[in-house]
Structure 1
Amino acid sequence: MMHSLRVVVALAVWWVAVLGGATAYGQPAAKTVQAGRLVFRLAAGVAEPGSSPALAAALRQFAAQPAQQKFPHSLAPPLDLPGAVDLRPVYEVRLPPALPVEEACRRLLKTGAVEYAEPLYYYSPLLQTSDPLADSARAGGQYHLKNIRAYRAWDVTQGDTAITIAIVDGGTRLSHEDLASQVQRNRRDPIDGLDNDQDGYVDNYTGWDFADNDNDPVREANSVHGILVAGCASAATNNGKGIAGVGFRCRFLPLKIYSSTRSGSFAGYEAIIYAADHGCQVINLSWGGVGGYSRFEQEVIRYAAINRNAVVVAAAGNTPADLDFYPASYEHVLSVAMLTPSDERSPNATFSRRVDLSAPGTQILTILGNTDSDYFAVGGSSFAAPLVAGAAGLVRARFPQYTAAQVAAQLRRTTDNIDALPGNVAYAGRLGSGRLNVLRAVTETGQRSARIIARTYAPARQAYSPGDTMRLTVQVQNLLQPVSNLTVTLTSLSPHLLVRQGTFAAGPLVTLEQRANSVAPFRLAVAPGTPLNTRAIIRYRLQDAATGYQEDQYETIQLNPDYVVLNANNLAFTLTSRGSIGYDGLGMVGEGVSYRQGAPLLAEGGLLVAASPARVSDNLRNDRRGSDADFWTLNRVRLLAQPLRADQEATATFRDSLPTLTRGRTVGVRVRQHAYAWAATPHRDYVILEYRVTNLTADTLKPLHMGLFMDWDLPGEGSRNVVAWDAARRLQYLFDPTAPRLYAGVQHLRGGQPSAYALNHQAPGGGPVYLADGFNSAEKFITLSSGTREATYPTATDASQVTGAVLPYLAPADSVTVAFAVLAAPTLTQLQLAADAAATRYQQVLPVRPAYSGGLALYPNPTTGLVYLNLPPSFPSATVQLLSLAGQVFHTQTCNASRLVLNLSAYPAGIYLVRVQTQNRQYVLKLTKQ
């Protein structure tokens, strides 16, 4: 027996290694991009991909085959069902293997015909095998059935064969003694080579293999995870063999999502839709990973839970950390954490405010599936989740009138509180409402539960900065017994997020009634000094004093992100701490660049610095299916609380590594970044970016190239832009020549000689730089070092620009300043006016030239009133103006003498500028009035 157990453990561990699912304790499983596939949702008003010329053209350029509806059999959402999602506009595209998925997503977004374009991801199963001796050391076998009160619950209900639990996992063993009678068979489609039920799946009699697209859901060799999970939820009970599944009579539907072949791919979300559309009342997901939120994945969950009324249960993860773990952390999912036999948190369990409830997850005896009569003890949240899924099946049988949301509420509200146990005290509130109690779930009919089912922030942002205020409108729904006077109290659990108005009297609500606080929304504010990238948790406390009902619900808000948004004028402009513009890297962290609150205009943007084709530093896309990360933060970006020279100013300092540390791959510079935005006309259509660059190496950089790469997403046809160059203004810009609705570009203001390069994304023959296969260092250098001879691209195409400057040399420890204006306007005339205004404003307000030392001076400075301006004898005459830091002219006079008296007695204390203009030159001096 000992030898056979060792063999079983070896097989299980080998399977995990092959599938890549089990990570070491403390290492969170991460989702990975599946090559060659992406999904997109058509924008409102676009009936199909072919109805948008821009989208159709983009797809023809790179799609290996026509785009196909992702879920062609999904049903339209009921009109009277709030929160329902329509999956019919979602399409999938197959890509050539060499084309980076992220690049294809960007090109689709540029068409303006899609709401989103996202990769499809691979998620790992969450198996963690336990000590093979655990079974022999444990009395009573399935201890967890007693812990969760399953035996007593079966006295009330034994489920129903009409209830089906979808096991979306790694396949099954149809012939196992404890599974054979439990498989839900589709008798409308027997195995005869025909699609008898016309659901699009031929012979889907015993489930489906979505990874390999066939009707065989039997697990691949040495892959037992799906069988282990099925045993927990649905093993045949009271059959005199093996073990008992929590769901008792409830059937299970095996849906295989991990491939048995090299050509297959992970297909978890496709299987969720199938389960929902084929009548599965409960869907179990014992897999997942960290890696961020996906709109596509959340829409799939919403479709299953809201449109199709399925209870979705997911494992919360096996990483001992407080983190968001998907799909468990999506809305409308019951997230299940794992416990030890003593009801204490497992040392390897993920915990968070997103967890809904907990269940035993260690030493769980279940079906192994290597033979038709084998069993094994395992551990992990993978096996806590199906215990809850089985319980959900019992609740659905006991209360058939309950919606999926009500079943989830019943399970949450009938748990046993375990926060006071020694191992749980430190995690109170992050293990959900308590440990699953199936008896209470199927017997208690007097529970009350309300839920925040929708929320709207104004302004709507991904994250909020210090000083920001926001209004929060929520919609609450009463799910179970009526409440007589429901109140919702909002509390911040973070000192950095302040609640200014946090009460909502929802009043009496009958079962399933909804109400919103749209008349008096919650009000919140971000405190000054909030640390970078703070995750603030807010708590909704739902109470009904008359009945004693109280329940908490949590939400996370991102504060003080590592970017700022300048929005003083028509441009809402995201600036990061590492030289990126619009978004921080390819993860789309940021709020982009937009004009007059319109759609995002920039797919990607950022600073390039280069000394040679091999020495290029940036944080832009590369040719390795990712982005470079050469710049790192010294002083994070921040908006100045008291801007001196503009209505909004932002500053940051970053640097790259010395080339001696990167084998000559980087440049070796420090960059101080300063941004300026003004609110008054004619300065509303641009933002000035100023970069002061210091040479950190021991060698002279000769020459040094700098520039801004801007991949614009202008409204209209994304593949129909031309690039123009206005040499007089040193302005490079893009527009749609057929239907110009917006012009956008970059203007060189200061530093070296201007350079400009127009990039064509579409065809390899379009030039030496081809972005469709990435953007390597040699190509980046070409765009910076070609002067202005490649500044234009007159043929309409999917285009972008690099506008830069060439500096003849930069000595060690020396610094130089380069400045650009980023502009957008609805007409070319307005763009040109904005460029002229930017050039004038930069010369007038910003210290672009050192003060003349040959006799030009102000004294006393500071002054309390009178100030004297001395002019050198070489000045024949000069015009002298007194200005505010924002450029407002207070006083103008002509001086033909060597000294001029200015009287500031009538002006308030502050900093002023004195501009001296001769026939050939202009000088600006700073003056302080006390």
Structure 2
Amino acid sequence: MRRTSLCAAAVSAAVLSVVSPVNAAPSPVQSQPDSTQVNRPFERLIVGYKPGTAEASSDSAASDDVRQKGKSLHRRMASGAVVVDLGSKTSNADSTIQAFKADPDVAYVEPDLLMQPLADPNDTDYSRQWDLFEATAGMNVPGAWSSSTGAGVTVAVIDTGYVAHSDLSARIVAGYDFVSDASRARDGGGRDSNPADEGDWMKAGDCGTDANGNPVPAQDQNSSWHGTHVAGTIAASTNNSKGIAGIAYDAKIQPLRVLAQCGGSTSDIADAITWASGGTVSGVPANPTPAKVINMSLGGQSSCSTTYQNAINGAINRGTTVVVAAGNSNMNVANFTPANCSGVITVAATSREGNKAFYSNYGSRIDIAAPGGETRRGTDTPGTITTPENGIYSTLNTGATTPGSETYKPYQGTSMAAPHIAGLAALLVAKKPSITPADVKTLIKNNARPLPGTCSGGCGAGLADATKTVNALTTTPPPSGGALENTTDVAIPDLGTGVSSITSSASGNASSTVKVGVDIVHTYRGDLVIDLIAPDGTAYRLKNSSSSDSTDNVVATYTVNASSEVAAGTWKLRVQDVYSGDTGYINAWNLTLQ
């Protein structure tokens, strides 16, 4: 049944019920753990000082304050917060944390957690990429390529770095190594301009013990070459007679290394987010090719920290879309970061049959689902993958520890789902460079299709559909041209109103005819009521709503018989969404006074 319209009072109530500030307290059902309570070892804290305090601007003042609390200052972050050395790995630094919390100059304090790659590696060319083209649960990518291939867009892959692969080499632009700990970096030092993946292999217990005294990791692990696998899904070279096809195969990949032995620290990852999106990081040269899309297939169990949220807010404000894997614990994503941070696109994983993958996190914070693969291990021969064909096939390396030869293998995980959405975001940005991160998110969600299988707990808007999403992004100029034009995007909220203005400086009066060309992006145009508002306040109805008109978008020219007294001044296009369930935006419109 079609949605029902609401009276004005009900519309206001509905809008207010879903809008909450970034820092609003979560409801009891969605409660999150204190970000200072963790179950994995950490050896540093991130401390943010209040604006105006000496410690916020002076390294010496901050160092003195930290020293008074029995610790040492490690470095200052791009955000202005400082990183504090604890002196050893721990899963509980309560006394030090409480000392900082009690300091009136401190705004926040949180552990500098190590994030982990969110993939489940297995051991298994375009024909293997069911995730791109299969009708049941593929992402319907090939049909989008006639409209966009990602040209002109840089996608930052914040991950383990990049190991050389001939199916990716033409797509790589200069990145950076943000791993600040020389002991984990394996490249002889800390941060540098070489984001080469040096391997993230670990021996059991290399990373300390958890709160229960269990070794981390519990068993030996080989290098994953995780960032290279992610990059292949996004932008592997295509039509080159080898390997696999990337979703946004004309986009560029900017590898940013943050994950090394034992994972990656929050402070390094946050600085990488800032730098990738064109922000400034102390001691790091400016990014010559800022990314319009960031992929983070990483995470850990915690609430969204202030450190992450500040970095993400900065990236989004600079026009960069941030895509994050939901996590592989089959738990509520509300408790996993940075997937639970505001403004990001949080991605769950689906199987080849279209179900939520058995490992994927779920919940109301999921925005969209994408293919992540689902393989199984044999019970008679442990370690044997019984269904490698159901994984996500991408670029990899054979090295167990240090790099070997290039290869391709299937992985599974929300790490594999997220780059599908990052690739789709790159297709959208390439088609319309002015598109905002919020519009990217809305388009992807509004053009999803229902999961062909099942999802218990919440998989967002459904399974992403690349062709429908890209086709919904029209860049066609408003019909008829116009002496006056406005091409600035204006959002039309669900059950809300968007208003765009054009100012006429013409002298004298208009004739009785005004032509209005409109280009509105919306996934259910029957929801919309469109009015032209003249400078004297007179409203001319251009379009009424129609609950049966389910077609996407409004691209049309309207003729208005206007008053002869209203030529000069500000004209407004008012677009109201009077039903629930869909959103969109005014892409462009023009006005001709005749």
Instruction: State if a TM-score over 0.5 links the two structures.
Output: yes
- Superposition map of 1:674-685 within 5 A: none
Quick check: 1:211–1:267 contact (8 Å CA) kept in 2? no
Quick check: 1:211–1:256 contact (8 Å CA) kept in 2? no
1:200/1:439 Cα in 2 relative to 1: closer, same or farther (>3 Å)?
A: closer
Q: Which residue of 2 aligns with 1:125?
A: 117
1:360/1:46 Cα in 2 relative to 1: closer, same or farther (>3 Å)?
A: same
Quick check: 1:209–1:257 contact (8 Å CA) kept in 2? no
Q: Which residue of 1 aligns with 2:361?
A: 350
In the alignment, the residues of structure 2 paired with residue 509 and residue 211 of structure 1 have an alpha-carbon distance, to the nearest angstrom, of: 52
1:145/1:50 Cα in 2 relative to 1: closer, same or farther (>3 Å)?
A: closer
Q: Could you tell me how far 1:344 is from its partner in structure 2?
A: 2.2
Q: Could you tell me how far 1:185 is from its partner in structure 2?
A: 2.6
Q: Which residue of 1 aligns with 2:172?
A: 183
Deviations 1:818-865 (CA, angstroms, capped at 9, x unpaired): xxxxxxxxxxxxxxxxxxxxxxxxxxxxxxxxxxxxxxxxxxxxxxxx
Quick check: 1:33–1:120 contact (8 Å CA) kept in 2? no
In the alignment, the residues of structure 1 paired with residue 310 and residue 61 of structure 2 have an alpha-carbon distance, to the nearest angstrom, of: 25
Return the match for 2:156 from 162, 166, 169: 166
2:297 equivalent to 1:286: yes
- RMSD between superposed Cα atoms in Å: 3.7
Larger radius of gyration: 1
2:414 maps to a residue whose letter is S
Q: Which residue of 2 aligns with 1:431?
A: 459
- Superposition map of 1:111-260 within 5 A: 111-130=103-122, 132=124, 140-146=127-133, 147-160=138-151, 162-174=152-164, 176-185=165-174, 212-221=190-199, 222-260=223-261
Quick check: 1:269–1:300 contact (8 Å CA) kept in 2? yes
In the alignment, the residues of structure 1 paired with residue 158 and residue 500 of structure 2 have an alpha-carbon distance, to the nearest angstrom, of: 32
2:410 equivalent to 1:377: yes
Return the match for 1:316 from 319, 326, 329: 326
Q: Could you tell me how far 1:293 is from its partner in structure 2?
A: 3.3
Give the SS at the match of 2:255.
Answer: strand
Return the match for 2:68 from 42, 61, 64: 61
Q: Which residue of 1 aligns with 2:50?
A: 43
In the alignment, the residues of structure 1 paired with residue 528 and residue 150 of structure 2 have an alpha-carbon distance, to the nearest angstrom, of: 32
Unpaired runs of 5+ in structure 2?
1-36, 181-185, 200-222, 279-286, 374-390, 399-403, 476-487, 502-526, 530-544, 548-578, 584-594
In the alignment, the residues of structure 2 paired with residue 359 and residue 211 of structure 1 have an alpha-carbon distance, to the nearest angstrom, of: 37
Quick check: 1:128–1:378 contact (8 Å CA) kept in 2? yes
In the alignment, the residues of structure 2 paired with residue 50 and residue 444 of structure 1 have an alpha-carbon distance, to the nearest angstrom, of: 47
Deviations 1:394-448 (CA, angstroms, capped at 9, x unpaired): 1100011111221122211121122xx4524x55xx111121111122211379x
Quick check: 2:325–2:417 contact (8 Å CA) kept in 1? yes
In the alignment, the residues of structure 2 paired with residue 354 and residue 141 of structure 1 have an alpha-carbon distance, to the nearest angstrom, of: 31
Q: Could you tell me how far 1:119 is from its partner in structure 2?
A: 1.4
Return the match for 1:97 from 44, 65, 88: 88
Q: Could you tell me how far 1:480 is from its partner in structure 2?
A: 6.6
Deviations 1:227-247 (CA, angstroms, capped at 9, x unpaired): 111111121122221001111
Q: When you count strand as a share of all residues, which structure comes out higher?
A: 1
Quick check: 1:49–1:56 contact (8 Å CA) kept in 2? no
1:270/1:417 Cα in 2 relative to 1: closer, same or farther (>3 Å)?
A: same
1:31/1:375 Cα in 2 relative to 1: closer, same or farther (>3 Å)?
A: farther
In the alignment, the residues of structure 2 paired with residue 150 and residue 96 of structure 1 have an alpha-carbon distance, to the nearest angstrom, of: 49
In the alignment, the residues of structure 2 paired with residue 61 and residue 45 of structure 1 have an alpha-carbon distance, to the nearest angstrom, of: 20
Quick check: 1:212–1:261 contact (8 Å CA) kept in 2? no
Quick check: 1:42–1:48 contact (8 Å CA) kept in 2? yes
Identity %: 27
Quick check: 1:234–1:250 contact (8 Å CA) kept in 2? yes
Q: Could you tell me how far 1:320 is from its partner in structure 2?
A: 2.5
Quick check: 1:177–1:241 contact (8 Å CA) kept in 2? no
Q: Could you tell me how far 1:169 is from its partner in structure 2?
A: 0.9
1:411/1:47 Cα in 2 relative to 1: closer, same or farther (>3 Å)?
A: farther
Give the SS at the match of 2:88.
Answer: coil
Return the match for 2:581 from 547, 551, 564: 551
Q: Could you tell me how far 1:113 is from its partner in structure 2?
A: 0.6
1:144/1:264 Cα in 2 relative to 1: closer, same or farther (>3 Å)?
A: closer
Give the SS at the match of 1:297.
Answer: helix
Q: Could you tell me how far 1:98 is from its partner in structure 2?
A: 8.1
1:442/1:122 Cα in 2 relative to 1: closer, same or farther (>3 Å)?
A: same
Quick check: 1:209–1:217 contact (8 Å CA) kept in 2? no
2:342 equivalent to 1:364: no
In the alignment, the residues of structure 2 paired with residue 394 and residue 209 of structure 1 have an alpha-carbon distance, to the nearest angstrom, of: 35
Give the SS at the match of 2:112.
Answer: strand
1:445/1:211 Cα in 2 relative to 1: closer, same or farther (>3 Å)?
A: farther
**What is the aligned length?**
398
In the alignment, the residues of structure 2 paired with residue 354 and residue 209 of structure 1 have an alpha-carbon distance, to the nearest angstrom, of: 37
1:106 maps to a residue whose letter is Q
Deviations 1:693-717 (CA, angstroms, capped at 9, x unpaired): xxxxxxxxxxxxxxxxxxxxxxxxx
Quick check: 1:361–1:381 contact (8 Å CA) kept in 2? yes
Q: Which residue of 1 aligns with 2:436?
A: 403
In the alignment, the residues of structure 2 paired with residue 317 and residue 37 of structure 1 have an alpha-carbon distance, to the nearest angstrom, of: 24
In the alignment, the residues of structure 1 paired with residue 166 and residue 153 of structure 2 have an alpha-carbon distance, to the nearest angstrom, of: 20
Q: Could you tell me how far 1:282 is from its partner in structure 2?
A: 0.7
Q: Which residue of 1 aligns with 2:310?
A: 299
Quick check: 2:155–2:253 contact (8 Å CA) kept in 1? yes
Q: Could you tell me how far 1:350 is from its partner in structure 2?
A: 1.6
Q: Could you tell me how far 1:294 is from its partner in structure 2?
A: 1.7
In the alignment, the residues of structure 1 paired with residue 300 and residue 188 of structure 2 have an alpha-carbon distance, to the nearest angstrom, of: 20
1:127 maps to a residue whose letter is A
Q: Could you tell me how far 1:211 is from its partner in structure 2?
A: 9.4
Unpaired runs of 5+ in structure 1?
1-29, 72-86, 190-198, 203-207, 448-478, 488-505, 513-542, 554-930
Q: Which residue of 1 aligns with 2:425?
A: 392
1:219 maps to a residue whose letter is D
Q: Could you tell me how far 1:158 is from its partner in structure 2?
A: 1.3
- Superposition map of 1:512-523 within 5 A: none
Give the SS at the match of 2:169.
Answer: coil
In the alignment, the residues of structure 2 paired with residue 255 and residue 63 of structure 1 have an alpha-carbon distance, to the nearest angstrom, of: 33
In the alignment, the residues of structure 2 paired with residue 292 and residue 352 of structure 1 have an alpha-carbon distance, to the nearest angstrom, of: 14
Q: Could you tell me how far 1:303 is from its partner in structure 2?
A: 1.5
Quick check: 2:54–2:62 contact (8 Å CA) kept in 1? no
Give the SS at the match of 1:289.
Answer: strand
Q: Which residue of 2 aligns with 1:443?
A: 471
Quick check: 2:178–2:192 contact (8 Å CA) kept in 1? no
Give the SS at the match of 1:111.
Answer: coil
1:69 maps to a residue whose letter is R
Deviations 1:69-115 (CA, angstroms, capped at 9, x unpaired): 311xxxxxxxxxxxxxxx3x322223433896443332223221111
Quick check: 2:368–2:463 contact (8 Å CA) kept in 1? yes
Deviations 1:378-401 (CA, angstroms, capped at 9, x unpaired): 111110100110111111000111
Give the SS at the match of 1:253.
Answer: strand
TM-score by length of 1: 0.39
Q: Which residue of 1 aligns with 2:13?
A: none
Q: Could you tell me how far 1:302 is from its partner in structure 2?
A: 1.2
1:440 maps to a residue whose letter is K
1:314 maps to a residue whose letter is V
